[in-house]
Amino acid sequence: MKKARAPDHLERASVPWLLACAVSTAAPHTEHLPLWLSAIIGVALLLRTGLWLKNRPLPARWLLALVVVATTAGVYIEYRTLFGRDSGVALLTLFMALKPMEMNRRRDAVVIIMLGFFLLLTHYFYSQSIPTGLWLIASVTLLTATLIRLFGGPQPPVVIARHAAQLLLQALPFMLVLFLLFPRVSGPLWGLPQDAHSSRSGLPENIAPGSISELILNGAIAFRIRFTGTPPANSVLYWRGPVMDEFDGRAWKPAFLGRMASPQIEARGESIAYELTLEPHNQRWLLALDAPLELPQNATLSMRMQALAREPVRLRSRFTLRSSTDYRAGLEETQQILSASLQLPAKGNPRARTLAAGWQQKHSNPQAIAAEAQLLFRQENFVYTLNPPLLGENSIDQFLFETKSGFCEHYASTFVFLMRAAGVPARIVAGYQGGEFNPIDGYVVVRQSDAHAWAEIWIAGRGWVRVDPTAAIAPSRVEQGIAAALPEGETLPVMARIDLDWLRQLRFRWEAINNTWNQWVLGYNPDRQRELLSRFGLGDIDWRGMTALLSALCGLALLGITVWTLWQRPRTDAAHRAWQRFCKQLAKRGAPRREAWEGPLAYASRVASVRPDYGDIVHRAARCYAKARYGNADGASMPALREAVRQLPNRWRFF
């Protein structure tokens, strides 16, 4: 006799659904996992698929336990911990791949589905983009469909998928209510100290040969700007970042000068209002347009005219600022800052020092000395390139008199060195220059490839004056961007050299969509929530009122779904209701229970074979029901069914 299967037994046909769930939820994480771990996960899933195809038994539990211990030890060795974002995600992904190896009951299948739902959340630790969201929606639909297949039995895949989509659509109102009204919390998605804020690409804290040129190969967006009026020309868009005024012979860095008051900035032209959406870069720099006049409440202006946030920018943030591109600043600069802007190492670069000393003897005006340096760059066949030769100990001399090839940091560093050697206070400013206007959404996009370095000199009666030595070598860099300034053959991000108008328009549209997603979904912070509630007269609502409103709207959504579900419920006619009651009461009296798929005549035959004493009664009722339900609508079928029921013995009569 064939052994009966346990009620919790897993159907063989359900295994492909569960394996698809494992692949869907684990595969995107292979981008962040070490290669050896991704290989183990892939081999485990392929091996389980092969066992299913060949109908082979699962591996022994002791072998599986040994693999789990070994791979867990490997994760510990790789990350030096079993706690935190990266190691935790690695373990979850590993368990998702290994769990199917012991999957032979529905309970195991439910564990895989629940683990899949949880694992999907971890994808947002690494990416919150639109493609990630679409992938997760598809994966949630697959997990829900697998749950339906697991407990709903064999059905066409299209029917299962449609049912899963309907369930998710019913959850959509709750999702919208919770998204809009649930109290927003400012802070990182992941908060453990060892990896809460991984490093981001951005401007370096120190400037040395190659510091800025490394960023040029990165086409990622650094920030977006929406101007209140017409965007200014690219040639005046200097976005101010760190300021360096200490030189050790190789690199420039900010000097520690203590706490000082910010300089007075006098706007000489119209001010420019704009909203800046800054990508996280783990620094305090707000990269305001040079020079900032009005800052957000949580920002300050440093003594070097930097707009600084109170805390490092670790989340995508929006700031409203006002700047002027025509200004005077630092007219009454402190002697401490001026002295720091003249400091040079005691030794090194003798030829550059001699050249600058000659300019100092020739000119008493700092502007004339600066003009001499710019004239030198223009006339001596200097080359603007991302791939300059390596420089030795006397890097300024070697660049100025031998290689004559460099990027913006080479020219800014050499210019500031020459100015200081000639007695002119000078410093290096790092930031971004220019930007690309997106006509689709009206934002100016500044990328990491727009990173730039320039110089400032101090002139009595004028304060700090910007001088961009790169403009003397490659003026197109300031006017048209990095791609126009570099010679053919230089390595650049692919999108920076796009000349096809249709491809450029496609990129504009995609970035506009991404910007909308960032502004209104990922950027839906407490300020945006208060702004939305204020539009409905709820700007002063507290947490108690928010809870009540949230509960009321969720209740209304639940009521609406309930009404819709009842409205969609299949309606049965009188004959069908009478037949259902008949079968139910018959089963209570010891007759076999009718299956949902079983027709009336087939059921009557089965009852008669098991309980002959009920045969005449059930056959008579089945024929009347079949005629009333499926026969010609002559009006006599239903009364005949009722009459047949009335002829039942009293102890069976229930109509």
pLDDT digit string, tens, across residues 595-646: 878 888 888 898 888 888 888 888 888 888 888 777 665 566 677 666 666 6
Phi, then psi, of 101 in degrees rounded to 5 = -70, -20
CB atoms within 10 A of CB 592: 16
Query: 431 Cβ partners below 8 Å, 6+ apart?
Result: 203, 238, 239, 240, 241, 242, 287, 290, 451, 452, 453, 454
Q: How far apart are the first and last CA of the chain?
A: 43
Contact 36, 29 (CB under 8 A): no
In 3D space, the residue among 142, 216, 170, 219 whose CA is nearest the CA of residue 563 turns out to be 170
Helix or strand (DSSP H, E) at 323: strand 317-323
Residue 155 pLDDT: 87
Given a cut of 60, is residue 52 above it in pLDDT? yes
Kindly state whether residue 546 falls inside one of the protein's structural domains: no
Q: What's the token pair of residue 410? A: 């080479």
> What pLDDT is stored for residue 2 in this prediction?
43
pLDDT at 549 over 90: no
- Report residue 459's pLDDT band, with 50, 70 and 90 as the boundaries: very high
The arithmetic mean of pLDDT across residues 63-79, rounded, is 93
Cβ(288)–Cβ(323) under 8 Å? yes
600 and 477, same structural domain? no
Check if 290 is active-site: no
Q: What is the mean pLDDT of residues 564-568?
A: 76
Beta strands 246-247 and 252-253, pairing class: antiparallel
Distance of CA 75 to the CA centre of its chain: 25
How do strand 252-253 and strand 265-267 relate by DSSP bridges? unpaired
Point out the catalytic residue in the list 408, 410, 450, 624. 408
Query: Residue 185: pLDDT band by 50, 70, 90 thresholds?
Result: low
- Is 229 found in the same domain as 124? no
Does residue 562 lie in a domain region? no
Query: Considering only CA atoms, which of 307, 313, 318 is closest in space to residue 275?
Result: 318
Q: Residues 326, 472: one domain? A: yes
Give the phi and the psi of residue 273 in degrees, each rounded to 5: -95, 140
Residue 194 has pLDDT above 60, yes or no: no
DSSP state of 48: H
In 3D, which of 405, 415, 417 has the Cα closest to residue 248? 417
From 429, 452, 425, select the one nearest 369 (Cα to Cα). 425
pLDDT at residue number 85: 87
> In angstroms, rounded to a whole number, what is the distance separating the alpha carbons of residues 545 and 481?
52
User: Do 482 and 606 fall within a single domain?
Assistant: no
Listed residues 131, 154, 177: the one ending a domain:
154
* pLDDT tens-digit readout, 265-279: 999 888 999 999 999
Residue 414 resides in a domain = yes
The whole-number pLDDT of residue 201 equals: 56
Q: Whose CA is closest to 493, among 207, 222, 128?
A: 222
Q: What is the residue type of 54? A: K
Distance CA 598, CA 585 (A): 17
Within this chain, do residues 235 and 106 fall inside the same structural domain, yes or no? no
Q: Are residues 219 and 356 in the same domain?
A: yes
Give the active site residue among 86, 245, 452, 624.
Answer: 452
The H helix count followed by the E strand count for the chain is: 23, 18
CB 274 within 8 A of CB 446: no
Q: How far apart are CA 435 and CA 446, in angstroms?
A: 5
Reading the block at residue 405, the tokens are 């090839």
Residue 322 CA, chain-centre distance (Å), reads: 29
535 pLDDT higher than 60: yes
Residues 449 and 303 in one domain: yes
Within-domain flag for 527: no
Q: What does pTM read for this prediction?
A: 0.73
Instruction: Give the C-alpha separation, 240 to 83, whole Å.
Output: 39
- d(Cα 485, Cα 480) in Å, to the nearest integer? 8
* Residue 408 annotated as catalytic: yes
The residues, ordered by sequence, that sit 6+ positions from 634 with a Cβ below 8 Å of its Cβ are: none
Least confident piece of the model among 199-203, 386-390, 463-467, 532-536: 199-203
Q: Please indicate, yes or no, if residue 254 is contained in any of the structural domains.
A: yes
Of 136, 154, 172, the one marking the end of a domain is: 154
Q: What is the mean pLDDT of residues 165-188?
A: 82
Lowest mean pLDDT among 430-439, 494-503, 618-627: 494-503
On whether both 236 and 371 belong to a single domain, the answer is yes
Instruction: State the residue for tokens 């998928």.
Output: 161
Q: Is pLDDT at 182 greater than 60 in this prediction?
A: yes
Identity of the amino acid at 543: W
142 within domain boundaries? yes
- 43 in the same domain as 129: yes
Categorize the per-residue pLDDT at 199 as very low, low, confident or very high, splitting at 50, 70 and 90. Answer: very low
Mode of pairing for the β-strands spanning 444-447 and 436-437: antiparallel
* Annotation marks residue 450 as catalytic: no
The answer to whether residue 187 is domain-embedded is no
Position 629 scores a pLDDT of 76
In a domain, 55, yes or no: yes
Please give the backbone phi and psi of residue 524, each rounded to the nearest 5 degrees, phi first.
Answer: -80, 85
**Chain-centre distance of CA 192, in angstroms?**
19
Q: Residue 203 has what pLDDT?
A: 85
Other C-beta atoms lying within 10 Å of the C-beta of residue 430:
27
- Tally of domains in the chain: 3
CA distance 624 to 640: 6
Residue 322 and residue 290 in contact, taking contact as beta carbons nearer than 8 Å: no
Q: Which two tokens stand for residue 294?
A: 């009005």
Looking at every residue in the chain, the average pLDDT score rounds to 85
Last residue of a domain, one of 470, 497, 524: 497
- What is the reported pLDDT for 500? 66
Six-digit token pair at 192? Answer: 């453990």
Q: How far is CA 478 from the centre of its chain?
A: 31
Element (H, E) at 641: helix 637-646
Mean pLDDT for the stretch of residues 376-393: 85
Domain interval for residue 372: 213-497
- Considering the domain architecture, whether residues 109 and 38 belong to the same structural domain is answered as yes
d(CA 183, CA 186): 10
Whether residue 306 has pLDDT greater than 70: yes
Note whether 425 and 341 are within 8 A (CB).
Answer: yes
Taking CA 137 as the corner, what is the angle to CA 135 and CA 138, rounded to the nearest 5 degrees?
65
Its sign, for the CA torsion 265, 270, 276, 278, is negative
Q: Which of 21, 290, 468, 583 is catalytic?
A: 468
Residues 326 and 449 grouped into a single domain: yes
User: Per-residue pLDDT tens for 99-146?
Assistant: 999 998 889 999 999 999 999 999 988 888 899 999 999 999 999 999
Residue 102: phi and psi, rounded to 5, are: -120, 25
CA dist., res. 352 & res. 344, Å (int): 12
Q: Are residues 138 and 241 in the same domain?
A: no
The C-alpha atoms of residue 563 and residue 148 are separated, in whole angstroms, by 23
Cα separation, 645 vs 128, whole angstroms:
65
